[in-house]
Each structure stands twice: as structure tokens, then as C-alpha cells.
A and B are shown apart, each in its own frame.
Chain A
């Protein structure tokens, strides 16, 4: 194969590649062997520690309710954050300077702050708040934190989505006499939604991952937290971690794949404007704290990586 870095390999390069492959295989095997040995040494491979996961009880009593809470918090956060994000995204494009200023400040502020701080703060505010029981409080706090942060991120996605549309769309709308609100509501926003769908879906991965913070820091009974209750029963700390990590990987992988599928599908749509905000687009917006200073929102720059382009949040 040829790429920007190297040509199709000749005989010498082929030999070198074989040697590199062998060395790498040996190194990998050594690593795996070490992990296996250590696990065995510490009696972590005993079947009795893994066996609970083959019973339905471990799933129906601990893991699935935990996963349900994780998805519930993530889904709620997305559903609430999306309209909020749209509102702020549009406000940042307003013709009025003060509207732009206020929306911009709010968005930049919440993007500069760790989501954990927002959760801790919300949790404290909700303590003793009428109408929120001690049982529900962690979930409320987690959702609040996630909404504040992700609405700001989505605001940038929405803004980028609208800016990605060809200028002719606005001009044509103005030419036929639509008002500003009409232009936004019936011309720009519907098209922008399609443009940014993949980016929005892959932001869901970031949200799902961040719910785990609540599980550890706020005792929110999510997947990660129910792992603790499970381990109290079966005394299998490592094993439960491995299983929970695999569940997270599968869930997020499904979301990521869906986002890539969506992106490719939208990109193929010939008659659309052709602008698509791929999952990688979030990269430009996820955590800059510097707002539009970057202008680094990669429109249609998805290189087929297919991964959520979040910057590690």
C-alpha cells in the first residue's frame, strides 16, 4: 500500500516489514504473557470469580439496572441539552451584539469548566431542594452537569452546522422576502440539522462516558456504581471491572458506528448541500475554551476514522 509517507514496498522494504512484524509479535506476546501470569499468580483467573457473569442474576439484579440508569441519564441529558444548545448556537449568530455577547460568554464559561465540578455543584444545590429525594438527587445532579456542559458544546456544533451551509441559502431566502426568523426556522435550521446529525450522535458517546463520573463521585447508581454492589456479593473486583469496561465499549461502539453510518449516508445524498459535520467536527469544538478563536471546525473532514472526535472528554 502506498501513502503519503511511503511508496509501495520493494524487496528490501518487504523484508524489513517482516522483521518488524516478528519483533512486534514477540513484544505483544510477552506483554500478554505477563498479564496472564500476573493474573494467575494473584488467583484472578479462577472460574468462580468469572462464573457469576454467566448467571442471569448478576445481570438482572446489578448490571442491567445500572446500565439502564447510565443510558437514562445520557438520554435525558442529550434530549434536554439539544434544544438548549440550538438556542445558544443560534443566539451566537444573532445580529444583535449583546445577544451574541451573552450567549458567547455563557457557552465559553461552561466549556472551560470540568463537568465534574458542575456535577458536584449541582449535587450540593439540590441537597435539601424540595421535590428531589435523596434517592433521585445523584441522577438530577449528573443530568444537570451534563446538560450545562453539552449544551455549550452542542451550541458550537449548531453554529458550525449553520455556518457550513452555502451562503446562497440565506441570500435566496432574503431575496424572496423571508424574515430573519423565517430564514432560520424554515431554511437554515432544517438543513443544518442534517448536516450536524453525525456530530450530535457521536457527542452521545462523550455523554455516556461522563455519566460514570456520577457513579464514583456522587453515588449515582449507574453501571460503574452497580459494579461495586456486585463485587460486594461475589468478591470479584477485577473481573467486574473487565466486564463493565466491555459493556461500555460495546455501547459506545454501537453509537459510534451509527454516527459513521449516518455520516456516510448523508454524504452520499447528492442533492443535499454536501456539507456534513462528521464526528470529527466535535474535535474542533469539544473543549477549546477559546471558542471561535480556532475556526478549526473540520467540515466534512472526517477521514473515515469513524471515531467520536471528542478531544478526550
Chain B
């Protein structure tokens, strides 16, 4: 029944899902960093930075991810010559470009998750902290962030799961991940239903435990108010 799987070795089924995992992990780390920076801008006291953060989030969130990913390849790489340190290896280049695109896109959602987390902390908490003489960094580090962080786990988990599923868009620029292999298989093999089931199962395995674990964690750590 699964004979056809042995016809595919570039990528193989496991190789393709491993690529999906790699895309997810690198993009998640990158978008955490860039998203936190954006969130810092959006809550900063400098109006211009707030404006930039707001504009970035609202623009990026309204563009289809597909447009962004295809643009990294056709625009950034081909026209602007941003070959991500791999001008001669299209496979490596495609992977890095896809990660860049995912980071640019996902960061907007990370930013919003973090910002909403900060907004859940009642102003009174910070005012009380300032009243007893804590400095800005103490207010942030001891009072606001520990509470915000707990509130952010749930929304961030959603972003992470959405990202896992979104990595399939990388197939649009030829990155050999799960959706790319599925397209190839489903067009060439007769067992449409079986192939669909195999790939669906793969994603259920990738997303469900993550969702359950992080959901449990966010509930456990939730600040009781």
C-alpha cells in the first residue's frame, strides 16, 4: 500500500517533514526576535517608532503570505541580488529566503501578541511599582514583563501553530517541504486519498501536541485576576 513512498527520495517523506520542522524552528526564532523589537517600538515613548511599528504591522498583516514568499525569490533574490550568502546554491538560497519571508510576516503577529500581553497588565500595577520607587527597568523586569509573559503564551502558541502550517507556502518557491512533496506525489500517483491522509496525519502530529502542551501551560501560568 505504501510502496509508492520508496519512489521519492529527493525529498523523501521524512526529509520533507524535516524541512517543514526546520523552516518552522528557524522562522519561529527569527520572528520572536524581530517581533519583540517591533513590539518594543509599538509601546515605546517615541512617537515615530510607534508609528513605524503600527504601519509595519498593518501593512504586512494585510498582504498575503504567498505574495511575500514569492517576492523574496523573484524580487529580493533575482532583482536586488539578495542571495542570502548562497548565490550558487538555489536550494540553500530558497530555504533562507523562505525563512526571511516567514520572519517578516510572522513578526507582525508576534508583535501584536506581545503588545496585547503588555496591555493585559493593569496600569495600577505599574503605578504602584513606581510609587514605591522602582526604576523603569525594575518596573519592566519585576512587575510588567513577568505578568505579560504569562498572558502571552496562549496567543504566541497560536502564532507558532499558524506558522507551522504556513511553512507550506514555501513550496511556491520550490523549497522541498511537505506540501511540495505532496503536490508531486498526488499528481503522479493514483492513491489520492492515501497520500492526503499521510500528509494530513503528519501535520496533525506536528501541531496537535504543541497546541495541547502550550494550551495547558498558558492555563497553568495564567495570572488569576
Contacts and interface: CB of A to CB of B under 8 A. Distances in A.
Interface of A: 1, 3-7, 9, 13, 17, 20-21, 24-25, 28, 38, 42, 44, 108-109, 112-117, 120-121, 124-125, 205, 208-213, 215-217, 224, 237-238, 241, 244-245, 248-249, 252-253, 256, 280, 283-284, 286-290, 293-296, 301, 303, 305, 307-313
Contacts of B161: 287-290, 311
A114 B179 contact: yes
Contacts of A296: 154-155, 158, 215, 218
Contact of B64 (A7, A209, A217): A209
Contacts of B166: 114, 312-313
Interface in B118-176: 118-119, 121-123, 125-126, 130, 136, 139-140, 144, 154-155, 157-159, 161-163, 165-166, 168-169, 171-172
Interface string B32-56: 0000000000011111110010000
B1 interface: no
16 contacts: A4-B122, A4-B144, A9-B45, A17-B46, A24-B46, A25-B48, A42-B81, A112-B207, A117-B179, A117-B199, A252-B62, A287-B165, A303-B116, A303-B119, A309-B112, A312-B166
Given A44-B79, A116-B179, 10 more contacts: A108-B208, A113-B165, A117-B168, A120-B182, A224-B64, A245-B67, A253-B58, A256-B62, A289-B210, A293-B216
Interface residues of B, number: 82
B109 interface: yes
A294 B219 contact: yes
A251 to B, nearest CB: 8
Nearest to B59: A249
Interface of B: 43-49, 52, 57-59, 61-67, 70-71, 74-75, 78-81, 105-106, 108-109, 112-113, 115-116, 118-119, 121-123, 125-126, 130, 136, 139-140, 144, 154-155, 157-159, 161-163, 165-166, 168-169, 171-172, 178-179, 182-183, 186-187, 192, 196, 199-200, 203-204, 207-208, 210-212, 214-216, 218-219
A5 B144 contact: yes
B151 to A, nearest CB: 10
B61 A307 contact: yes
Contact of A121 (B62, B113, B192): B192
A237 B187 contact: no
State the 8 A-B residue pairs at the shortest beta-carbon distance, nearest first: A290-B211, A212-B64, A293-B215, A252-B62, A114-B165, A311-B158, A287-B162, A209-B64
Contact of A237 (B49, B67, B79): B79
Contact of B62 (A7, A210, A248, A305): A248
Contacts of B203: 112-114, 117
A130 B109 CA distance: 42
Which of B65, B178, B199, B215 has the most C-beta atoms of chain A within 10 angstroms of its own C-beta?
B215
B214 to A, nearest CB: 8
A305 B200 contact: no
A17 B192 CA distance: 60
A243 to B, nearest CB: 11
A286 B156 CA distance: 12
A28 B179 contact: no
B118 A5 contact: yes
B70 to A, nearest CB: 6
B74 to A, nearest CB: 6
A312 B163 contact: yes
Contact of A249 (B62, B66, B187): B62
B152 to A, nearest CB: 11
Nearest to A309: B112
B204 A113 contact: yes
Contacts of B44: 20
A304 to B, nearest CB: 10
A283 B152 CA distance: 12
A284 to B, nearest CB: 7
B186 A4 contact: no
